Every structure is written in C-alpha cells, then in structure tokens.
C-alpha cells in the first residue's frame, strides 16, 4: 500500500466506525453539521470496498492512521541536532536521508526518498510543493495549513524573499536562496545552520530551537525565540 | 529483481542544459505549468523511480524511469524577479519530459 503524500482518511468527526453497526450509546446523538463532500464520500467508498474485498483490514487502516498521527517535527529536530553534534552522522544524513532516519529508529513508511538540503553561510533553502502538499511526513508529521495554501504554493516559487520576509525571515542579498519545488518522489528537509551562542547547549536545548518551520526553511533557529 | 545494468542508461548528464517539454497531455502530470518550455541545467541524476504518471493509473510494475534534479536561475524564470542573480529554483523532472537543446538554425 502506497500512502504517498496524501492521507486518505478524512475522518471528519472521528465517529465513523468502519463496521457501521449501532452501539448502545448513552450520549446525545452526534449530529453532522454539513453533508460530506464529494471527496469524503469517495474516500469512504474506496475504504469500504477495500475492506469488503478483503484487501485491507480495518485494523490495518486504523494502525496506519495511528502511525501518521504519531509523527511530529520532534523527530526531524532530533536528526538535525544529531547532525550538528556529530559530523559523521551529518555526512550520512546528507548522503542518504532514508538510511539516516532509519538509523535513529524513524521509519520512512511511504516509499518516498528523503533528501536533506544543507544550509551553509552562503546558501538558504526553502521548500514548497506547488502542485499539492508533498511534505516529509515521516519525520515532520502533517504539514501546516499554510503550507497547503494556494498563496504559499504560488508565491514561494515566484517571490521567495518576500514570502520569507512575511515569516520574519530576512535573508541577506549575499546569501543565495534556493527554492526547492517538491513534486514527485523526493521529500525534503532543510538542515538549518546551528545558531551562534549555542556552544554550551545540550542536545535537548538545541532540539527546542529546531522548530518545524526551520526545517521547511521559512524560519531560522534562534536563541531569542 | 533487475539490476542497474538491465536498464537503458540515463540520457542526460549532470551539467547538461535541457529543455522541459511544452506539452499539455491529459492525465496526471507532476510538471508544474510554470516549468514547461523552460531551459534548465541538470544538477543531479536522482536514479530511477516509478513514474507517477503511470502510478496514478495503477501501472506500477516495470515503469521506473530516470529522473533528475534540474535548476534554473530565478531571474530567468521570472522577468520581474528582483532578488540576486544567484537565486535558484530546483525541481525534479522525469526523463520523458526532457528534450535536448536544439542547435540554432541560422
């Protein structure tokens, strides 16, 4: 089963039991505010067909959603900090993102290839998916809503410095900005620069600086945040 | 399991200039409109991967294709770009969307 970039489960209210049978419920009936959308109906239909035909068991679908929801930027932050502290890990991470993630017990469950974009004093990377919402979910979890917005997707390729400035990130003219449009099989994570003044920080303190946005490239790790 | 030598070699090499096809087929395509027809430089050979154009219709087996990282300066991409000349855009493109640069006919 290929999960790719799209979580097929929309689970609107968290109340659609796959079995669809009645429970002896004590609480007030749950009322749907709006009719399900075309894509929600499509998702439910395909999911039910897959289980009826015995291709997937409800338990497998439930488990995969649990895996998706268990991921968060804390995993990416651990990889970044390990790369800051351990030059050998850093080169393995830049060489082969999947192997470097798996080495830390982080499975890349969606058949994508993780490429790590190394920021340097002269180069800043920023990631966007103009076509949809390709995002390194195994190591960062679900993308933020703004990442999926048409504004972010269309403007980041066209005027990246203006978009970054709106995030409060000013990149000097002498630093090259590389926009990475993520469109197919690769997923990207930015390896940000370790900020000055963190020489005495331990791993945990460093991980707190490596937020989600610093790994998308719209922010820089900073000790003043 | 096929080994790498069972495949045709990659057509393009790193550093080579190529053109992204200007075509508008019906189906599922992972080449954004703004990149079509652009002249780009191959920056990395990314190996082979299942072509999403085929995968979208369930044809997964044996449809791997070479794909590349290509780059283009932002100032070439957008006429109104007002950042430094060194700013770049990078994107993955499958080989079936790349064309050799035609020599000028004078």
pLDDT tens for residues B32-83?
Answer: 999 999 999 999 999 988 887 877 777 766 678 899 999 999 999 999 999 9
Residue A5 phi/psi, 5° resolution?
Answer: -90, -10
Domain ranges in chain A with CATH number 3.90.330.10:
72-216
Give the span between the Cα atoms of A123 and A118, in whole angstroms: 8
Mean pLDDT by groups of 10 residues along chain A of 225 residues: 42 45 62 84 95 95 92 97 98 97 94 94 98 94 96 97 98 98 92 97 97 98 84
Q: Which of A101, A159, A56 is nearest to B80 (CA)?
A: A159
Inform me whether the C-beta atom of residue A161 falls under 8 Å from chain B C-beta atoms. yes
ipTM exceeds 0.85: yes
Let me know how long chain A is: 225
Q: Residues in chain B whose beta carbon is closer than 8 A to a beta carbon of chain A? A: 30-32, 34-35, 46, 49-50, 52, 55, 67, 71, 74, 77-78, 81, 83-84, 86-92, 94
Architecture of domain A72-216: Alpha-Beta Complex (3.90)
Q: Are B89 and B8 contacting, i.e. CB atoms less than 8 angstroms apart?
A: no
The reported pTM is 0.84
Topology of the domain covering B4-100 = SH3 type barrels. (2.30.30)
Distance from CA of A143 to the nearest CA of B (A): 19
Residue A18's contacts (CB-CB under 8 Å, 6 or more residues apart) are A47, A48, A51, A58, A61, A62
The count of other CB atoms within 10 Å of the CB of residue A69 is: 12
């Amino acid at each position: 089963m290929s999960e790719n970039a799209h979580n097929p489960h929309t689970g609107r209210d968290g109340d659609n039991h796959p079995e669809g049978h009645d429970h002896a419920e004590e609480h007030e009936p749950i009322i749907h505010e709006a009719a399900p959308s075309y894509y929600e109906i499509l998702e439910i239909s395909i999911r039910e067909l897959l289980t009826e035909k015995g291709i997937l068991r409800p338990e497998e679908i439930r488990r995969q959603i649990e895996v998706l929801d268990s991921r968060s930027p804390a995993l990416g932050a651990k990889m970044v900090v390990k790369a800051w502290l351990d030059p050998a890990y850093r080169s393995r991470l830049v060489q082969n993102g999947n192997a470097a993630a798996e080495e830390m017990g982080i499975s890349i469950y969606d058949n994508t290839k993780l490429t790590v974009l190394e920021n340097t004093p002269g180069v800043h990377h920023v990631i966007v998916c103009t076509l949809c919402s390709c995002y390194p979910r195994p190591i960062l979890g679900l993308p933020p809503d703004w990442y999926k917005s048409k504004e972010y997707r269309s403007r980041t390729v066209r005027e990246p410095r203006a978009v970054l400035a709106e995030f409060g990130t000013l990149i000097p003219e002498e630093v090259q900005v590389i926009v990475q449009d993520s469109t197919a099989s690769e997923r990207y994570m930015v390896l940000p620069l370790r900020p000055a003044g963190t020489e005495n920080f331990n791993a945990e303190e460093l991980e707190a600086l490596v937020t989600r946005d610093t790994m998308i490239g719209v922010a820089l790790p900073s000790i003043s945040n | 399991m096929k080994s790498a030598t069972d495949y045709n070699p990659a057509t393009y090499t790193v550093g080579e200039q190529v053109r992204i096809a200007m075509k508008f087929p019906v189906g599922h395509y992972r080449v954004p409109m703004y990149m079509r027809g652009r002249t780009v430089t191959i920056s990395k050979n990314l190996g082979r991967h299942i072509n999403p154009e085929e995968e979208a219709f369930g044809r997964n087996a044996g449809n791997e294709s070479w794909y590349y990282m290509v780059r283009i300066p932002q100032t070439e991409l957008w006429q109104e770009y007002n950042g430094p000349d060194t700013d770049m855009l990078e994107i993955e493109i499958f080989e079936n969307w790349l064309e050799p640069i035609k020599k000028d006919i004078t």
